[in-house]
Amino acid sequence: MTTASIPVPGQAARPSPWFRSAPFDLLLVLGTPLLTWPLLLAAKGAVGPDLLRMLLPISATGHYFATFVRAYGDRELFARFRTRLTVAPIALVITSIALIYGGHLAAVMLVTALWGFWHWLAQAFGFARIYDSKVGSFAARTALLDKALVVAGFVGTVVLNPNSTALFATLFLDVGITLPSAEAFAIAQSVTQVAVVAIAIAYVANLASTIARGQPWSWQKQCMHVTTIGYYWFAFAYAPNVLIAHVLYEVFHDIQYFAITWITCRARVQREGVTPWLRTMFRPGPAAAVLYIAAMAAFGGLDVLGRSMGRADPVGQTALGVFLAAAWLHYYYDGFLWKAREAALGADLGIQKGLAATVVPTARHALRWAWFVVPLSIAVSTSGRPFTEGQRLELLSGVAPSDFLTRSQLAFEEIKKGRLDEAGVHARASVDANPDYAPARLYLGVSLEASGDVAGARAQYEAALDAPDQAGAHAIAHTNLAAILFVTGEREPAEAHRRAAGELGGPPVVQRLFELGRYEPSPTGQRILAYEAILTLDPRALHALYELGRLLLDAGDAAGAARRFQALVDQDPSPDPLVALAEAQLALGQAQTARQLVEQALRAAPGHPAATALRARLGR
């Protein structure tokens, strides 16, 4: 029997309602969230966020390669679209690299994200329609409502969840495109809510009518909508951070794509018109499946390698341009490869009827490139007008006031301005929205520390260390916690945190203690303890001796101030320490000693303002 005479899968008398089989679909199509969610949570705890971040290009870029396998391994498909499959790679690679070298990476990333969003949405709709087609459901109204439900679900996720709203809004701000006002966006959210509810009601009503009339319907498709739309919503509304959200849905999407590509290519290689390497990759047996997965992961690994070189490196820039172009090609090819020769593709998927071979005319297809060219041109034209950090945060606050990242960044900006109370308000809101975001815990601790709530600050730093490390928060938390413990006299744990801060590249603990001592809104007692802790670590910290003496003198402890100033004068008998000691002696009633110290200061620095003023006081 020749390969041409082998029966095409799906031509049995009773077609299967599954893509391949119940176990295959439940694991790799419908029930994928039950696989990816626990695996990624375990991976996050085992390898940390940095290594988990590497999973994105390995998985995402790997599934781009699956598209290229199908496009260039199917000779009939390649012959039919030879011009597109030859010209597009050259044009898009050149465009991507040129824009990156021209300083327009933000524009490239925005267009990639928008196209990727459409791609996720299109796959969700396409999979749903495949399940309907498998059972013979081709009603135009049902198909329209499927599309409306998917669009509403995905758009609703972006518009109604602050985390995803801020994620997409940031991409626009990166290229200098402003955002709608808070009022305008609130209206958009209300319209979106109404649309989501109305479409859901219409969808359920149509499903009930279909079942009541005894017409074909797919319960698998209903599960498809729940797991796809629901998981997208879950990822961005519930996930602890944007990184995890993106990884969660990307891996889910990629596994589904690997699965359908495997099914179609396994069926395709049973007929003539494919390359030898495609036939080898999709031959029967587990070894071929391992080879398929390894090839995808290797392609993604090349992307990881390119990113590791850094965006400032010419090779790294070129690699980034190539792989971003690969993403564009993947989105572009999927727009017509999964629609071309529908009858043949349907046969590969086991669909026996309801499909016809249709191809978008060349002229109309060319016009559709405007959906890529126009947004990219707008993004490039605005990318030279970046917003300041203050402007970005103000605009983000308008559209995503509850986003934990935005509130955390606002807290950081307030800390830099010295407005610790305002920083605490933003940091508290961020912690309430996401208790596992370490930077927000850190900023809240700083605010509490400034208000004198040392115990509360300590609890926040400890919570930051219990949360996944992001933006170097653990290094600073170790430093700040060590400072608190030195102040409270807990020397052993303080030393442990100081060592940990040093290993992570955190700021010196003494520097943090000086910050605590200088911050005037802090209670005087806390500032005194900070300087005493500095002197415990470095007895020759003369500036700490001086500042500690000034605080004690202002607090009415003239004897304590005199001891510190005397220790300072013993090491540095310059005018400022001499005058400070004179003030302390005067407060103790030792006017004669004070006069002697003032005269000594004036001999060293005639006309010294503070010494001159104190001499005048003593003269009265």
Return the higher-pLDDT residue of 114 and 9: 114
Q: What is the pLDDT at residue 489? A: 82
Q: What is the pLDDT at residue 439? A: 95
Give the model's confidence band at 98: pLDDT under 50 very low, under 70 low, under 90 confident, else very high. very high
- Amino acid 586 reads L
The answer to whether 57 and 269 are in contact (CB under 8 A) is no
The answer to whether 396 and 166 are in contact (CB under 8 A) is yes
Residues 353, 359, 360, 366, Cα dihedral to 10°: 150
Q: What are the backbone angles phi and psi of residue 274, rounded to the nearest 5°?
A: -125, 160
- The angle at the Cα of 146, spanning 145 to 152, to the nearest 5 degrees, equals 85
Q: What is the pLDDT at residue 2? A: 31
Q: What is the pLDDT at residue 12? A: 46
Ranges 115-119, 305-309, 406-410: which has the least confidence:
305-309
Q: What is the pLDDT at residue 9? A: 45
Q: What is the pLDDT at residue 175? A: 92
Take residue 565 and report the two structure tokens written for it: 């100033």
Tell whether the torsion through CA atoms of 127, 163, 177 and 325 is positive or negative: negative
Give the model's confidence band at 362: pLDDT under 50 very low, under 70 low, under 90 confident, else very high. low
Q: What is the pLDDT at residue 7? A: 41
Look at residue 527 and tell me whether its pLDDT is greater than 80. Answer: yes
Ranges 424-433, 439-448, 522-531: which has the least confidence:
522-531
Q: What is the pLDDT at residue 295? A: 92
Whose tokens are 């103790």? That residue is 588
Where are any strands of DSSP class E within 335-486? Answer: none
Ranges 31-35, 151-155, 187-191: which has the least confidence:
31-35
pTM of the entire predicted model: 0.79
Whose tokens are 């959210």? That residue is 189
Look at residue 365 and tell me whether its pLDDT is greater than 60. Answer: yes
Residues 307-314: what's their mean pLDDT? 78
- Give the DSSP letter of residue 309: T
Partners of residue 74 on adjacent β-strands: 274
Give the model's confidence band at 46: pLDDT under 50 very low, under 70 low, under 90 confident, else very high. low
Return the higher-pLDDT residue of 365 and 557: 557
Residues 166-189: what's their mean pLDDT? 93
Set out the domains of the chain in order of their start, with CATH numbers. Answer: 3-10+23-382 (no CATH), 403-524 (1.25.40.10), 539-620 (1.25.40.10)
Proportion of the chain above pLDDT 70, given as a percent: 91
Give the model's confidence band at 340: pLDDT under 50 very low, under 70 low, under 90 confident, else very high. very low
How much is the mean pLDDT over the chain? Answer: 87
Mapping DSSP to helix (H, G, I), strand (E, B) and coil, where does residue 312 land? coil
pLDDT tens profile 253-294: 999 999 999 999 999 999 899 999 999 999 988 899 999 999
Of these ranges, 6-10, 153-157, 413-417, the one predicted with the greatest mean pLDDT is: 153-157
Q: What is the pLDDT at residue 363? A: 72
The answer to whether 275 and 292 are in contact (CB under 8 A) is no
Give the model's confidence band at 8: pLDDT under 50 very low, under 70 low, under 90 confident, else very high. very low
Give the C-alpha separation, 167 to 155, whole Å.
13
Residues 180-184: what's their mean pLDDT? 94
Give the C-alpha separation, 479 to 408, whole Å.
20
Count Cβ atoms within 10 A of the Cβ of residue 372 and give its class: 0-12 exposed, 13-18 middle, 19 or more buried: middle
Give the model's confidence band at 452: pLDDT under 50 very low, under 70 low, under 90 confident, else very high. confident
Tell whether the torsion through CA atoms of 382, 112, 396 and 477 is positive or negative: negative
Mapping DSSP to helix (H, G, I), strand (E, B) and coil, where does residue 453 land? coil
Partners of residue 274 on adjacent β-strands: 74
Look at residue 128 and tell me whether its pLDDT is greater than 70. Answer: yes
Give the model's confidence band at 352: pLDDT under 50 very low, under 70 low, under 90 confident, else very high. low
Buried b vs exposed e over 172-192: b needs ≥16 C-beta within 10 Å?
A: bbbbbbebeeeeebeeeeeeb
pLDDT tens profile 195-231: 999 999 999 999 999 999 999 999 999 999 999 999 8
- Give the DSSP letter of residue 30: I
